[in-house]
Structure 1
Amino acid sequence: MAKKKFSKDWIHQHINDPYVKMAQQKGYRARAAFKLSEIVDTEKLLRPGDVVVDLGSAPGSWSQIARERLVGPGGVIKGRIIALDMLPMEPIEGVEFMLGDFREDAVLNQLKELLGDARVDLVISDMAPNLSGVSSADSARIQHVCDLALDFACHHLAPDGALIVKAFHGSGFSQTVELFKRHFHRVVERKPKASRVKSSETFLVARRLKA
């Protein structure tokens, strides 16, 4: 009974969520679009000409925001967006999509081949692992996903590039922040307005790789 009530409450909250309504009006695939939009505006990131890698991209709302920001005069996309997810994603004009699990070496190598020698200006990751409800196991999964995004960024970002990842407050969070600070000159937490108040999610923005 409690579970049924919870589902009804969630559906009611979702339907009446102003960001869900705005996403529908603007043609975004998810309300998460507004999270990235606020972060890149605050941090003054994403300009025409940038090379962007979107990890855990499905359903595609973050790639949509990236595409909007890379469109130059005349509606031409200047730059490159490579999106990757283990779930299929409906095509977005100007976005190169790869189907695969980022945690697998073979998929990671394929992504590296696609990039070639290009340095990445921005890595964005809205990835979140499937959670079991066992806090210690879930913390380890979340840390692992953040570590993978960090490792990729360290090898492929331009010196003044940036990394945005979704993280969660709780066990292991402070260690993740410390690890990011070891590799970047500036690391800040961002909690966008579109992020639900009750959610423990936060976004780490890391800028300028250390030598």
Structure 2
Amino acid sequence: MKPPGHQRVKTARKRTAQSTRWLERQLNDPYVRRAKAEGYRSRAAYKLSELDERFGFLKGAKRVIDLGLAPGGWSQVVKRRLPASTVVGIDLLPVDPIEGVEILLMDFMTDAAPDALRAALGGPADLVLSDMAANTVGHPQTDALRTMALVEAAAEFAYEVLRPGGAFVSKVFAGGADTTLVAELKRRFATVKHAKPPASRKGSVEWFVVCQGFKGQSAE
């Protein structure tokens, strides 16, 4: 039985059944409606908000890097909670301007990206966020490996730019990061936790790894 107020979408001539189901889910998603009402660009904003409410990694952050910025919901959350912070984001996709956020339109995996991010930030980062995910090809093992490569690259970058005590938060899949990466994260950070915030759809395979208390050069 559909809940009261549930909106159904008629299958248009040029719309597939799959896209019709996606549109119906969007129209009836309370997080989507809330994001629209509160001026956030995506429901993903609430994933970061809920993670921060649990772990408190935004508190006191002055310099923040947002990897995989588009469409910008995470950076919006950071600037609303930390108006005086310096926020630099990067993405392959064009992103509409966000007040107070410097946006780099480039591939994070290119050799030039890390230096460009460091230059724009102007000092050690307090927090590195990564919502990056590889485009799926429909083969679960391949998709997981491609996304894990991005997570590992984001983590390596975080080791280079974080100040001691800083934090790293990244999207991962299939229940969490692989054991080798987790072992390295635990060596580099005081605490490493996996979490799935309420705003993450129940059917989604995404999880997030939250690493706090970066040990700095002492962990080299």
TM-score (norm 2): 0.86
Q: Could you say which structure has the higher helix fraction?
A: 1
- What's the counterpart of residue 150 of structure 1? 155
Would the alpha carbon gap of residues 49 and 198 (structure 1) be closer, same or farther in structure 2, given more than 3 Å must change?
Answer: closer
Structure 1 residues 174 and 6, CA gap change in structure 2 (3 angstroms): farther
Amino acid at match of 2:170: V
CA contact (8 A) 1:123 1:163 kept: yes
Which stretches in structure 1 are left out of the alignment for 5+ residues? 72-77
Instruction: Spell out the pairing of 1:107-146 with structure 2 (5 A cutoff).
Output: 107-116=113-122, 118-146=123-151
1:88 aligns with 2:94: yes
The 5 Å alignment of 1:64-75 reads 64-71=76-83
Counterpart for residue 104 of structure 1: 110
Q: 1:9 aligns with which of 17, 21, 46?
A: 21
CA drift at 1:102: 0.3
| Structure 2 contact 57–212 (Cα < 8 Å) conserved | no
SS, match of residue 81 in structure 1: strand
User: 1:29-55, CA deviations, whole angstroms, 9 ceiling, x for partnerless residues?
Assistant: 000000001111211122456110000
Q: Are residue 25 (structure 1) and residue 37 (structure 2) matched?
A: yes
3-state SS in 2 of match to 1:166: strand
Whichever of the two has the greater Rg, that structure is 2
Moved over 3 A (4+): 170-176
Aligned residues: 203
Q: Deviations along 1:47-67, whole A, 9 cap, x unmatched?
A: 456110000101110000000
Q: Does 1:34 align with 2:46?
A: yes
Q: Does 1:197 align with 2:209?
A: no
